[in-house]
Structure 1
Amino acid sequence: MKLQLPILSLAALAPLAPLAAAHFQLKYPTSQGGSEEEMVNFPCGGGTQSSNRTQVSISAGSFPVALSMGHSQTAVEVLLALGSDPGSNYNIVLHQTFEIQGLGAFCLPHVVFDESILGTNITDGMNATVQVQSNGDPTGGLYACADIQFSSTAKYSEPSSCSNNTGVRAVSFSGDAAKRNANESTAAGEAQSSSSSSSSSSTSSGSKTATSTAGAATETVVWGMLGAAVLGGMALV
Structure 2
Amino acid sequence: MKFSLLACMASVPFAAAHFKLMYPKSRGFNTDTMTNFPCGGMSQSSDRTKLPLSGGSFPVALEMHHATTAVEVLLALGNEPSDNFNFVLTPTFQVKGLGEFCLPHVEINEKMIGRNLTNGMNATLQVQTNGDPTGGLYACADVQFSSDITYEKPPACTNNTNLVATAFPEAAAKRNANESTAEGDAQSGGSSTTSTSKGAAAPMQTAAWGVLGAAVAGGLAIL
TM-score bracket relative to the smaller structure: 0.7 to 0.9
Structure 1 residue aligned with 2:33: 38
- The equivalent position to 1:213 in structure 2, one of 189, 195, 199, is 199
Q: What amino acid does structure 2 have at the position aligned with 1:72?
A: A
Structure with more of its chain in helix, by fraction: 1
1:234 Cα deviation after fit = 4.1
Structure 1 residue aligned with 2:65: 70
Structure 2 residue aligned with 1:8: none
Cα distance in 1 between the residues matched to 2:162 and 2:185: 23
Paired residues of 1:169 and 1:236 also in contact (CA < 8 A): no
1:174 Cα deviation after fit = 1.2
Q: 5+ residue gaps in structure 2?
A: 217-223
Structure 1 residue aligned with 2:165: 170
Segment of structure 1 superposing worse, 73-82 or 43-52: 43-52
How far does the alpha carbon of each residue in 1:129-150 deviate from its partner, in whole angstroms, 9 at most, with x for none? Answer: 0000000331101000001101
1:155 Cα deviation after fit = 0.9
How far does the alpha carbon of each residue in 1:43-96 deviate from its partner, in whole angstroms, 9 at most, with x for none? Answer: 000222111111111112100000000001000000000001000000000000
Cα distance in 2 between the residues matched to 1:98 and 1:34: 22
Structure with max Cα Rg = 1
Q: What amino acid does structure 2 have at the position aligned with 1:119?
A: G
Q: What amino acid does structure 2 have at the position aligned with 1:213?
A: G
Paired residues of 2:53 and 2:145 also in contact (CA < 8 A): yes
Q: 5+ residue gaps in structure 1?
A: 1-11
1:228 Cα deviation after fit = 4.2
| Superposed CA RMSD | 2.0
Structure 2 residue aligned with 1:16: 8
Q: What amino acid does structure 2 have at the position aligned with 1:16?
A: C
1:16 Cα deviation after fit = 2.8
Paired residues of 1:164 and 1:234 also in contact (CA < 8 A): no
- The equivalent position to 1:190 in structure 2, one of 185, 189, 210, is 185
Aligned residues: 209
3-state secondary structure, aligned to 2:153? coil
**Percent identity between the aligned chains?**
56
Q: What amino acid does structure 1 have at the position aligned with 2:43?
A: T
| TM-score w.r.t. length of structure 1 | 0.82
Cα distance in 1 between the residues matched to 2:162 and 2:131: 22
Cα distance in 1 between the residues matched to 2:212 and 2:171: 28
